[in-house]
Amino acid sequence: MGQEKFDDIGIPLFYVERRYPTSRAIELHPDLIPFLKTRDPPRINKESREALLLYNYYVAQDLFNLTIEFERDVAIVPTPVMRYAFLQHLIHPNCSIIEIGTGASAIIALIAAKCFNAQVYATEMDPTYIEYAKRNVNANKLENKIHVINSHGKFLDGVIPENLKVDFILSNPPYYDKILSPKVLWGGKKHELVGEGSQGENFIISMIEEGWKYLKTPGCIAFIIPKTRVATMNVIEEFLNEQDMEYDIIGILAGNRTRYVFRIYKKYFDSYFSEFDSNKIS
Ligand SMILES: C[S@@+](CC[C@H](N)C(=O)[O-])C[C@H]1O[C@@H](n2cnc3c(N)ncnc32)[C@H](O)[C@@H]1O
């Protein structure tokens, strides 16, 4: 994935590479044809949840050799290529990961384990999603690589084994302050979308605060967020700057949508959030 340009505020942008032409998809899977919006050029009707479910099922299968059972009715329909791009700019082979909020698909955990041979501790709070996630892990025979853990609505403390330290803590987090549209096509329950806090920032900030002690040195905490969530990002950047934390931001561009990936680094000199510095966050 080559860097192509910078966006209007100077963030380096990377195009999502591992594309899957729709022409190829319908050639391999003619059952997608009824879900086309236009035939020439072939374009999937992304306003149809049914179409998204089927298309992304085939993308996961054909590009990543993963069989993923998606929750059909309410959960977010994940795009595998975007999740792959997120990981590609972050992790390295054979690393260890905590993923917070793996969802019903467990897609980030599955791609990390399958394509990067990562060891993943994947948390989730929704009992139905946990069942799906476990089935997906088993269906892909990745039980030795992925542990699905019920967080019971907590973050890491009391969820992750106390002495565990990993290379990466990551999430595709909920980040809305409220659900704006009743017609959220790609789905999502409240806890899947809403991060609490005045700008939906609380999930991400809790992940950073609690995550720090579960992170190796060097290590990295990362999350992905649409470029349009400016208010959420402003609050988070303010927090990161107040704590004097080291981070960078890159953009991932898919079609005309940009998502930002925040990467927060724990380096050799580590003072944030340590036992000796517990007053830093009030
Ligand atoms: C935006 S979804 C991301 C799902 C999936 N990782 C993906 O990329 O499609 C966020 C997920 O976080 C879960 N979640 C919210 N709060 C949580 C918590 N405290 N602990 C674990 N999971 C949580 C939600 O149930 C939801 O599945």
CATH number of the CATH domain containing 165? 3.40.50.150
Q: What is the pTM of this model?
A: 0.92
For every residue of the chain, which 3-state class applies, written as one string? Answer: CCEEEECCCCCEEEECCCCCCHHHHHHHCHHHHHHEEECCCCEECCCCHHHHHHHHHHHHHHHHCCCCCCCCCCCCCCCHHHHHHHHHCCCCCCCEEEEECCCCCCHHHHHHHHHHCCEEEEEECCHHHHHHHHHHHHHCCCCCCEEEEECCCCCCCCCCCCCCCEEEEEECCCCECCCCCCCCCCCCCHHHHECCCCCCCHHHHHHHHHHHHHEEEEEEEEEEEECCCHHHHHHHHHHHHHCCCEEEEEEEEECCEEEEEEEEEECCCCCCCCHHHCCCCC
**In the numeric block, which tokens belong to residue 40?**
């020439």
Structural domain including 223 reads 9-24+79-273
Q: Is 46 domain-assigned? A: no
Residue 70: inside a domain, yes or no? no
- Residue 255 region, left (φ>0) first, then alpha (ψ -120 to 50), else beta? left
* Ligand 1 centroid from CA 106, angstroms: 9
Q: Are 104 and 75 in contact (CB under 8 A)?
A: yes
Domain total in the chain: 1
Distance CA 139, CA 131 (A): 12
**Residue identifier of the C-alpha nearest atom 14 of ligand 1:** 101
Give the residues surrounding ligand 1 with Cβ less than 6 Å away.
76, 78, 83, 100-103, 105, 107-108, 123-126, 129, 151, 153, 155, 172, 174, 191-192
At residue 128, the pLDDT reads 96
Task: Indicate whether 228 belongs to any domain.
Answer: yes
How far is ligand 1, taken at its centre, from the CA of residue 171, in Å?
A: 8
pLDDT at 179: 72
- In-domain check, residue 52: no
Work out the pLDDT band at 256, boundaries 50, 70, 90. confident
pLDDT per residue over 26-77, tens digit each?
999 999 999 999 999 999 998 899 999 999 999 999 999 999 999 998 888 8
Which tokens is 12 given? Answer: 């380096």
Within-domain flag for 123: yes
Which of 66, 71, 100, 223 for a ligand 1 pocket mutation test, highest count of atoms within 8 Å of Cβ? 100
Largest CA distance in the chain: 63
Distance between start and end Cα atoms, the chain: 40
Between β-strands 3-6 and 119-124, what pairing exists: parallel, antiparallel or unpaired? unpaired
The 10s digit of each residue's pLDDT in 196-250 is: 777 888 999 999 999 999 999 999 999 999 999 999 999 999 999 999 999 999 9
Residue 249 lies in a domain: yes
Residue 130: is its pLDDT beyond 90?
A: yes
User: Is residue 182 included in any domain, yes or no?
Assistant: yes
- Give the pLDDT band of residue 182 (cuts 50, 70, 90): low
The answer to the question of residue 281 being in a domain is no
64, 87, 125, 149: residue to mutate for ligand 1 pocket, most atoms within 8 A of CB: 125
